Amino acid sequence: MKQALSVVLLVFFNLRNRDFTALSYLLDNNCGQSKYTNRISGGINADLNAVPWMAYFHANGKFFCGGSLVNHWFVLTAAHCFKQNDFTIYVRLGENDASQFYDCDDFECAPLHSEFWVVKKFLYPYFKTAHYYDVALVKLNQFVKYSKNIQPVCVILDWRWQGYVDSIQNLMVTGWGAKDITEKSDKLQLAKLPQVDRLTCRSRFGYNVDRTHICAGDGAHYVGKGDSGGPLGAMVNFGLYRAFVQFGIVSHLRQPFYGVSVFTNVLSYASWINHTIVTHKSF
């Protein structure tokens, strides 16, 4: 706890002295605004508009992966989601309960979700399996207008944040994946996962889990089949600005999937993410 606190204080100190201008390293400065709080324990249904960057991938009438909106044109997800998918791919933004046309709670209804289709997929060049390089971007067919239920997640483009990320004790994951071995969830789920050190994680997975990975989860807190591609992250204070930052992408699960999972470390691919978006931002 002292180590984590010292890292946070160091970040704040550098921010105040403008030596570490964190906001200038965000992919989109208007990002990460959420009703999520750190009080989540275990898995719960997401409130309306709580995770407005969530993307719902579907093709041939079936949901297959999650993702996260990172700016007006691009969605970040896992490369393994597209290995065996040659259908036209659609991306739904602003979704909460996939079984309902309109998403409502006891007090309000959210704006209707928006549908887009993928015009271009960008898989990391060295990707072969979910074990390594499991990151992808997709470009949507039209400009995404931000709204109450559609906003981008924060992505930090500065590798110097890695020490801070490693110090985070609990991370939040979201998705429509399986609630148990046989049942997936129509409602968007939130879960707080304890971060697991890479040495412990490596011993459980039997391959070289390195700094391009993040490990998280335990017997009571886990991700399931269908959560692939979804975001793992945490709320971060940028001085007076508080926002949700994505640090991981759901990548590799154990079968059965209860327990520790491996996530792609977004910071390890920040340069590629930024370069891909800048290079392909116009048609």
Interval 169-182: pLDDT, tens: 999 999 987 655 55
Q: How far is CA 134 from the centre of its chain?
A: 13
Domain 2-45+153-266 shares a fold with domain 54-152+271-279: yes
Say which CATH topology domain 54-152+271-279 has: Thrombin, subunit H (2.40.10)
Band (104; pLDDT cuts 50, 70, 90): confident
Token readout for 4 is 């984590």
Mean pLDDT of 94-115: 87
Q: Kindly report the CATH number that applies to the domain delimited by 2-45+153-266.
A: 2.40.10.10
Mean pLDDT of 111-116: 94
Identify the residue with better confidence: 249 or 84.
Answer: 249
Band (11; pLDDT cuts 50, 70, 90): very low
Backbone angles phi, psi at 264, to 5 degrees: -70, 130
Query: How do the domains of the chain map onto residue ranges?
Result: 2-45+153-266, 54-152+271-279
Q: Computed from CA positions of residues 264, 267, 269, 272, in that sequence, does the dihedral angle turn out positive or negative?
A: positive
Q: What is the pLDDT of residues 179-233, one digit of tens each?
A: 555 566 788 988 899 999 998 888 877 778 999 999 998 877 777 777 899 999 9
| pLDDT recorded at residue 8 | 38
| pLDDT recorded at residue 2 | 40
| pLDDT recorded at residue 43 | 61
Residue 260 has pLDDT above 90, yes or no: no
Identify the residue with better confidence: 161 or 3.
Answer: 161
Is this model's pTM higher than 0.85 or not? yes
Give long-range contacts, CB 8 A cutoff, 24+ apart: 3-12: 3/167, 4/167, 4/168, 4/169, 7/163, 7/164, 7/167, 8/164, 8/167, 8/237, 11/164, 12/237, 12/239
Q: What is the pLDDT of residues 22-51, one digit of tens each?
A: 556 888 888 998 865 444 445 678 888 889
